[in-house]
Amino acid sequence: MQKLTPRISDKPATKRHIYTVAELTREARMLLESAFPSAWVEGEISNFILHSSGHMYFSLKDENAVLKCAMFRMANQQLRFVPKDGMKVLCLGKVGIYEKKGEYQLYVQAMEPKGIGALQLAFQQLKERLEKEGLFDPAHKKPVPFLPNRIGIVTSPTGAAIRDVLNISRRRFQNIEIIINPVRVQGKDAAHEIADAIKQFNKYNKIDVIVLTRGGGSMEDLWPFNEEIVARAIFDSRLPVISAVGHEVDFTISDFVADFRAPTPSAAAELVIPEKEKLASMIETSYRRLTNNFLHKINLLKERFKQLKESYILRQPLNLVVQMRQRVDDLMHDLTIRTNHIVELNKEEFNTLTGKLEALSPLAVLSRGYSITFKLPEGKAIKDAKVLKPGDKIETRLNKGKIISKVEN
């Protein structure tokens, strides 16, 4: 049998490239990041965690797969709503690999709720939370003053809302003083300015009511009035607050927290500023009614006085005295007769009882010649001689007087 020997090739052997785990993971990360620099992903949030660092970690899942996600603090600060497990969302981000664990994940840069706008969802979430805390409770609502001396307006000094309020104020009651605390009513810092203005009016302590107002706009334009900082400033206000934001169909969180919601800025002005002419007419009507009632009361008293003046009692007052005196004499006579009768009855009963007492009295027995003997010093009546012994002292009581003796036998 022929022996086979291995055939050695004339070509040089190819050198193998061996990756480290870190190198391979890094290469894969670079491939993924270049292939998916930006992608929208739809899914349901699960295992949501808000880390103490402010970063958010969660998973997106559908029926067939799960994708781990991270949304860092700089990105999630722009969210208007709070993500929760079970919420369906659209996420924009880039695909990468977390090299430490070798896991591929989506680094989320933006998030939108699926089926409902982010602002609308944020509005609903904040409304539900504040309602549970009791910020909308009617028990906390303060009454709006009927005729305020000073009205504090929190609004933009250049908006249509303040023009409407001032026009209505001049037309209805010019004597009411209006103080404007100018703020921005839309934009990034508007909510903080509005909340600070409410607090400043409370510290000023010369305002009777605060009107929070601006004209209409989109939900994003009205959003400062949906911020929690504004809601809590309204709730903490010692002064009553009227919210008049947007048009009649617009509702904001400030409307629910405020002591009164007006559908428009003009309606708020008409609510808080009464018409001077109507008040003057009401005062005049009340004055006439009061005067008529007063004169009617005087006439009634005059008629009553006239009746009393012409009455028999006032025309013959001495005759009344004579009759009363005679009536007193009659009563005294009846009293004397009845008293004597009662005394005689009691006297007769007293004599009967006295006779019975005398018949039962031991003194009566003594008067018939009997005596009673007491042992001294006890003073106990002696019924049997055996209780005595020679030398005892005794006292014998007679009808008249008593005898002290000493027992000999």
Cβ 394 vs Cβ 375: under 8 Å: yes
Q: Is the previous residue joined to 83 through a cis bond, with omega within 30 degrees of 0?
A: no
Query: Taking every pair of C-alpha atoms in the chain, what is the biggest distance, in angstroms?
Result: 182
Neighbour count for residue 250 (Cβ, 10 Å) = 18
Q: Which two tokens stand for residue 400?
A: 């008249």
The DSSP line for 238-296 is SS-EEEEESSTT---HHHHHSSEE-SSHHHHHHHHS--HHHHHHHHHHHHHHHHHHHHH
Question: pLDDT tens digits for 63-74?
Answer: 888 899 999 999
172 sits in which H/E element: helix 160-172
pLDDT of residue 230: 95
pTM for the model: 0.53
Q: Mind listing the domains of the chain with CATH numbers?
A: 21-115 (2.40.50.140), 148-274 (3.40.50.10550), 366-406 (no CATH)
Q: Is 177 helix (H, G, I), strand (E, B) or coil?
A: strand
Q: Which residues of the chain carry a pLDDT beneath 70?
A: 1-14, 115-117, 276, 312-318, 361, 363-367, 369
pLDDT of residue 7: 52
Residue 35 and residue 179: Cα distance in Å, rounded? Answer: 60
Neighbour count for residue 215 (Cβ, 10 Å) = 22
pLDDT of residue 114: 81
pLDDT of residue 225: 93
- Terminal Cα distance for the chain, rounded: 175
Q: Which long-range contacts (CB under 8 A, 24 or more apart) does 309-315 make?
A: none
Residue 74 and residue 132: Cα distance in Å, rounded? Answer: 30
pLDDT of residue 135: 92
pLDDT of residue 11: 55
Beta pairing partners, 394: 375, 405
Cβ 80 vs Cβ 188: under 8 Å: no
pLDDT of residue 321: 76
Residue 31 and residue 309: Cα distance in Å, rounded? Answer: 119
Q: Is 118 helix (H, G, I), strand (E, B) or coil?
A: helix
Residue 27 and residue 45: Cα distance in Å, rounded? Answer: 29
pLDDT of residue 292: 87
Candidates 150, 152, 158, 151; CA nearest to 185 is 158
Residue 80 and residue 238: Cα distance in Å, rounded? Answer: 29
